[in-house]
Amino acid sequence: MPKQTIIYAVFGIYLAALLTIALAVERSPSLRKRVSDSPLVYALSLAVYHTVWSFYGITGQAATSGLAYLTTHIGSTLGICLWPSVLRRIIRIKRRQRITSVADFLSISYGRSQGVAMLVTIIAVIGSLPYVSLQIKGILASLTIMTEAEGTAHALHGPILVTIMILFTILAGVRRIDPTERHQGMVAAVAAESIVKLVAFVTVGIVVTYSLNDGFGDLFRRAAASPWAELTGLSMERESSYASWMTGMILAMNAILFLPRQFHVAVVENSDERHIRHAIWILPLYMLLFSFFAFPLALSGLLAGMPIDQADTFVLSIPHANNMPWLAGLAFFGGFSAGLSMVMITTMTMANMITNHLLLPMVEIIPPLGGLRRRLLQCRWAVVAMFILLGYGFNAMVGESYMLVRMGSISFAAVLQFAPAAIGGLYWSRASRAGALSGLGAGFAVWCHTLLLPAFIRSGWLSASILSEGPFGIALLVPERLLGLTAMDSIAHGVFWSMLVNISCYITVSLASTPVRSDAPDHELFMDDSTARELSLPLTEHLQRNIPLAERAQRIERLFHDYYSPEQAHAHTQTSIRAVIDDERDVITIEELMRIRDHVERTLTGSLGAAMARRALHREPLFDEGEQRQLAQMYANILTELHVPPNELRRRINFHQEREALLTAHADELAQANRQLRAAEEKYRSIFENGVEGMFQSTPDGRFMSANPSMARILGYDTPEDLVASITDIGTQVYASPLDRQDLIAQLTKNGFVAGHEHQIRRKDGSRRWVEIHARLVRDETGAPAHIDGTLKDISKRKQAEAEILRASRYVKSIIDSMPSIMISVDEELRVTHWNLAAESATGLASDSALNRYIGDVYAVFEPQTPALRTALETGTPQRLEKIPRLRDESLRYIEIMIYPMSAEGKKEAVIREDDVTERVRMEEMMIQTEKMMSVGGLAAGMAHEINNPLGGILQATQNIRRRLSTELEANRRVAEEVACPLDHMLEYMRKRKILDMLDGIRESGERAARIVANMLEFSRRSESKKTFHDMGELLDRTLDLAAKDYDLKKSYDFRHVTIVRDYSPDVPAVPCIASELEQVFLNILKNAAQAMTFHGSSGPPTITIRTLLHNGMARVDITDNGPGMDEHTRLQVFKPFFTTKAVGIGTGLGLSVSYFIITTNHGGQFTVESAPGKGATFSIRLPIPQRDDAHLPPEIS
């Protein structure tokens, strides 16, 4: 199946799964309640804050700005710290007023101002478009990387994605008009997407950091030595500054609450303000996990040579480039989840705000559009499609000229314009509608000029000269250098000027204006309940019930009918009436009508927004003129009796309404608590009766007051009643040792409780069991012990298992201690936890002295291997260290170390096994050398035959030249006379020109080459001589005589000056061998030893010690000198052909290699050397001794 088809199929399955979650929750009342009541779902839904910007763009920001990417997370966390006061207050306002968006909130803050709501909506729409564009850009880029699509397929990605987003948003979030505007199905889908994107990002981070690289330390070390070293510092001149850091934190502090989508999830979808307590730590933890791997991912991509302008896609590109399709797929779905959840929530919120605060006011102005009131749902669908299409268009126009992080910052800066009016409306009593409008409008205008305008210019829609010369050539109005300010980057610059203008206008206009009642913020709505004072309102029973309810119900239903279907309008009407009147009556009081009107307004606010709800009520008034005068008179009478101003009256009325709602809620909670208490009692009674552990209540003096069936069963009684009646003294009748009972009572008296008290008990039949008791001492009001409550568990099987484990542990320890290998175990801090007998023998340190100490302190020679030990602990991968040389007892030994990581009870440990593999290493060296000799043997044979032919010609020609120059031959004299060149003169000439010497040199060199070739032939050709039994001592003596008389030896040194020490063992029998070949081997060794001691010195008088002995069933000959010795490199090379340390012309490098071939191949023996610089050398020859019967075997064997 093609790769693209697979990706599209999985993509469709994932979308279907998300939609299934959303629809399943929406259709199930129980699931809706579970979602609403879950603080975890609420906290995860808040992670809609993490969009494609966070998933992809964060690595781009880390790659360009270094650690400046942390500003978003630091600022967001600081903003979350304010939630217990700010967010809780806004949620309480939402609960009272049913606000549905941030525009609704600001409208209510300033007297339900339609102008404020419209301006906030316009800012939100224009400011959110770059953010939606950012999501589309990130998803399309990742889809292109995954599918590697080109041409038509690539061109279709955008339209298909936009269509999917529109349908998904409508199906999951805009399926109905809900007065509460809460969508539990959508929240559940967003929470699921939050889990997917977190798992995806963290998984990619772990794999890239620890699989493709060697962890954080490796990345930072490599980065420090690369051109990207500046990224690892806190100060970067290229992309970040203190102003940038501060700007990033301010933007994030505001965005975490006032982004339209964030406000919707945090405020509108909140069902319980207590959920804030969980969200303030879950969401920062979520953001910390996200930011943890962003920087390693950025460094990994840059160090791998990926272009920095593609850093936004490192999360996806790195797995894709390293052929990890599963990881790339996981990253793609994480990024898609981040983008889809943001687009869905933002678009749904924008659809709500646009229809409520732009479309409906337009309908009020243009009467022909009145029919749209009943098509609000369809209007919102149209707005959803339009908004997403605009985002897609913005990406096509502007998106390619900006990285994701910059597009996100532009949107954050737009939303920042809400902050002064929002915070001022909550806390500043002098704030006014005029101030809010002027601040929002002026700040938004500056934002457009300094941030949005450059985006269009860089996209080619406007002249680039505006960025360099300013509009109309006015340099002071250059968008990114306004009034000549150049000390900040473009984002910080835009934020500085827009907020300076916004705050200045907001404060100045608010202070300069004298707000009327409708202009000022409704601070009574925003007050903390603790500030309200008690109020005793006059009784309203004296008000006459003279308002016909049916007629007013018709008015209310007509009002609802303008916006809802007939069925919905009737249902909302009845709900509003029954919320105030709980009995059947025909007439109501004006006070009851006022309360019904308030409920109607809150219902409409949930669907239309506060400003439009107020305007709808003005269009269809529920009070007649006379009733309005009566209502005003009623309030006047109340004010007269209470002697309070109107604002204080509203404050107190709101307090009592809130208190009434709270009391009702508390009553419901109390009833629920009683039901839960009864259920708990039944549950605990069932647990007591059916529990598998014994439960009891006893007196301090030793009698059972009650017990459950399991307690009776454990003690061997038929029923609890039988147990209680039979036991009169627990200490003597139940406890195997009364002292255990006394110890239990003593601990209870001292501590008040006992946990895990283990002892033996006697059952009714006399058998014994091990039990574990958990008990607490209950005292009466005087402090005296009243009774003991406890549980008893039969742990006999556990005790038996512990005994078996102990025996097994001791058995394993004895096995480990008996092993010849050194076995040591260490913990994470490299402290010794086990130390076997071999370790004690090797170090001379007892186990008790080594335990819990750092391994380098108790076993110093292991210190160089501690990096491998730490690697095994960190990675969980066994480590093998081979052929580690160590000097032990002045002898070079080879050690092999195996490190096995393990996990015990959640703690990391490692087991170290150390073996002496010197003999194995020697054997391996010998086998390798044998193989080399075999291969070189064939080469030598071929070379020798090829060289012999021209070499023979050279020697023969040289000999003939000498003969043709001889004066003794008649033919030579005759020819010389014929050519008039006397032979004597010719010879004289040749002697003076040293031609004859040259001929002698040619002959000598040829003869030397012939000897070399002969040695090579000897090396390559297996001897066909017969083996006979020979005494090793006799062969060695003959070789020593030969060495003393050899001319070449005497030419270089005097062998008589070398002391020969013979140490022949009489136990060594005769060995089958070729005597001449062994003599050649012995002579080579003696010759090399004598030359080494003569030319390089010796420790003391030159001495050669020759020993024969039996070793492992073989005859062994050791020839040891006290010469200069060899280093390890030379020792490993001595048997290689043509390797020599002698001067040119002295040695050929074939002597020991031929000797090695003779011993190993011709005689099936072993030939090794031991040496160290300054300690001489020992050549060891081992020859096999066959089993033979001297009486029946001939002296010559084949």
Determine contact, residues 504/418, Cβ cutoff 8 Å. Answer: no
* DSSP codes joined into one string, 998-1033: HHHHHHHHHHHHHHHHHHHHHHHS---PPEEEE-HH
Q: Does residue 573 form part of some domain?
A: no
Residue 1107 has pLDDT above 80, yes or no: yes
**674 found inside a domain:** no
The predicted-structure confidence for 414-432, as pLDDT tens digits, reads as follows: 889 999 998 988 888 888 8
* Higher per-residue confidence, 888 vs 478: 478
Q: Is residue 568 part of a domain?
A: no
Q: Are residues 1188 and 1105 in the same domain?
A: yes
| SS3 (DSSP) at 1059 | strand
Given this model, what pLDDT does residue 1118 score?
Answer: 95
- pLDDT, tens digit, 9 for 90 and up, residues 659-669: 555 455 555 55
Token pair, residue 283, equals 């969401």
Residue range 11-28: mean pLDDT, rounded: 83
Between CA 376 and CA 359 the distance in angstroms is 9
Shared domain check, 963 and 1047: no
Beta bridge partners of residue 1115, listed in sequence order:
1110, 1183
Task: Tell whether 646 is covered by a domain.
Answer: no
On whether both 112 and 173 belong to a single domain, the answer is yes
pLDDT-derived band at 239 (thresholds 50, 70, 90) equals very low
CB 220 within 8 A of CB 56: no
Is pLDDT at 1025 greater than 70 in this prediction? no
What pLDDT sits at residue 667?
55
Structure tokens at 224: 């420090």
Least confident range of 158-167, 699-708, 857-866, 1038-1047: 1038-1047
Confidence (pLDDT) at 1194 = 42
Task: Supply the CATH number for residue 831's domain.
Answer: 3.30.450.20
Q: Is residue 663 part of a domain?
A: no
- C-alpha span between 770 and 790 (Å, rounded): 16
Token pair recorded at residue 189? 């889908």
Model confidence, pTM: 0.54
Whether pLDDT at 338 is above 70: yes
Mean pLDDT computed over 797-825: 83
Q: State the chain's mean pLDDT as an integer.
A: 79
Average pLDDT over residues 385-404: 70
Q: CA end-to-end span of the chain, whole Å?
A: 70
**Confidence band of 516 (pLDDT split at 50, 70, 90):** very low
Quick check: is 1185 in a domain? yes
Q: Mind giving me the DSSP string for 1143-1195?
A: PTTT--S-HHHHHHHIIIIIS--EEEEEE-TTS-EEEEEEEE-----TTTS-S
Q: Has residue 504 got a pLDDT over 90?
A: yes
Domain end residue (candidates: 534, 560, 592) = 534
Domain that holds residue 500: 417-534
- Three-state DSSP at 785 gives strand
> Both 421 and 390 in a single domain?
no
pLDDT of residue 538: 46
Instruction: Check pLDDT > 90 for residue 1108.
Output: yes
pLDDT-based confidence at 524, cuts 50/70/90? very low
Of 254, 255, 247, nearest to 495 (Cα)?
Answer: 247
Instruction: Give the pLDDT band (50/70/90) at residue 1129.
Output: confident
Tell whether 86 and 165 lie within a shared domain. yes
Which residue would you say has higher pLDDT here, 222 or 462? 222
- The pLDDT of residue 1047 is above 50: no
- Which pair of tokens denotes residue 780? 């009466």
pLDDT of residue 940: 65
Instruction: Give the model's pLDDT for residue 773.
Output: 92
- Residues 57-67: pLDDT tens digits? 788 778 877 77
Q: How confident is the model over 289-320, as pLDDT tens digits?
A: 888 888 888 888 888 888 887 787 788 888 88
Sheet arrangement for strand 1103-1111:
1059-1064, 1103-1111, 1114-1121, 1177-1184, 1166-1171
Q: Containing H/E element for 777?
A: strand 768-779
Residue 1022 reports pLDDT greater than 50: no
Give dist(CA 1090, CA 1097) in Å, integer.
Answer: 10
Minimum mean pLDDT among 8-17, 252-261, 714-723: which range? 8-17
User: Is residue 622 a part of any domain in this protein?
Assistant: no
Collapse the DSSP code of 993 into the 3-class scheme (helix H, G, I; strand E, B; otherwise coil) and give the result.
coil
When pLDDT is averaged across residues 343-353 and rounded to a whole number, the result is 86
pLDDT tens-digit series, residues 81-92: 988 888 888 888
The answer to whether residues 248 and 236 belong to one domain is yes
Condensed to tens digits (0 to 9), the pLDDT of residues 350-365 reads 888 888 888 888 877 8
pLDDT at 648 over 70: no
Contact between 409 and 51 (Cβ < 8 Å): no
462 and 391 both lie in a single domain: no
Q: At what angle do helices 1032-1045 and 1075-1096 cross, to 10 degrees?
A: 50
In the 8-state DSSP scheme, what is residue 706? E
Q: What is the pLDDT of residue 1069?
A: 92
Q: How many domains does the chain have?
A: 6
Q: What is residue 633's predicted lDDT score, i.e. its pLDDT?
A: 64
Last-in-domain residue among 1021, 1049, 1066 = 1021
Q: Which of 499, 534, 569 is the last residue of a domain?
A: 534
Task: Report the C-alpha gap between 304 and 1072 in whole angstroms.
Answer: 66
For residue 1095, what are the β-bridge partners?
Answer: none
Closest CA to 821 of 802, 837, 844: 837
Give the helix/strand (H/E) hosting 901: strand 891-904
Q: What are phi and psi of 703, to 5 degrees?
A: -125, 145
Residue 458 has a pLDDT of 74
Could you please report the per-residue DSSP string of 478-539?
-TTSGGG--SS-HHHHHHHHHHHHHHHHHHHHHHHS---TTTS--HHHHS-GGG-----PPP
Instruction: Determine how many CB atoms are found less than 10 A away from the CB of residue 234.
Output: 10
Give the separation between CA 66 and CA 71, rounded to whole angstroms.
11
pLDDT level of residue 532 (50, 70, 90 thresholds): very low
User: In this structure, are 1017 and 1044 located in the same domain?
Assistant: no
Over range 312-331, report the average pLDDT. 84
Look at residue 181 in the predicted model and tell me its pLDDT: 55
Residues of the chain above pLDDT 90, percent: 8
Q: Is 927 found in the same domain as 895?
A: no
240-244, 315-319, 371-375, 1033-1037: range with highest mean pLDDT: 1033-1037
Give the burial string for 634-652 (b: 16+ CB within 10 Å, else e).
Answer: beeebeeeeebeeebbbbb
- Secondary structure (H, E, C), 906-929: CEEEEEEEEEECHHHHHHHHHHHH
Model confidence pLDDT, tens digit, residues 922-955: 777 766 766 666 666 666 667 777 787 888 888 8
Highest mean pLDDT among 247-251, 678-682, 1053-1057 belongs to 247-251
Beta bridge partners of 1103: 1059
* Same-domain pairing of 897 and 834: yes
| Of 631, 647, 627, nearest in space to 516 by CA | 647
**Whether residue 1082 sits in one domain with residue 1193:** yes
- Please report the pLDDT score of residue 1135 as a whole number: 83
Q: Which CATH number fits the domain that encloses residue 1192?
A: 3.30.565.10
Task: Write down the pLDDT at residue 137.
Answer: 78
**pLDDT band, residue 626 (cuts 50/70/90):** low
Closest residue by Cα to residue 431 from 496, 373, 495, 512: 512
**Same domain? 1040 vs 1165:** yes
Answer yes or no: are the C-beta atoms of 908 and 901 closer than 8 Å: yes
CA 433 to CA 108: how far, in whole Å?
A: 10
The reply to whether 991 falls in a domain is yes
- The residues, ordered by sequence, that sit 6+ positions from 860 with a Cβ below 8 Å of its Cβ are none
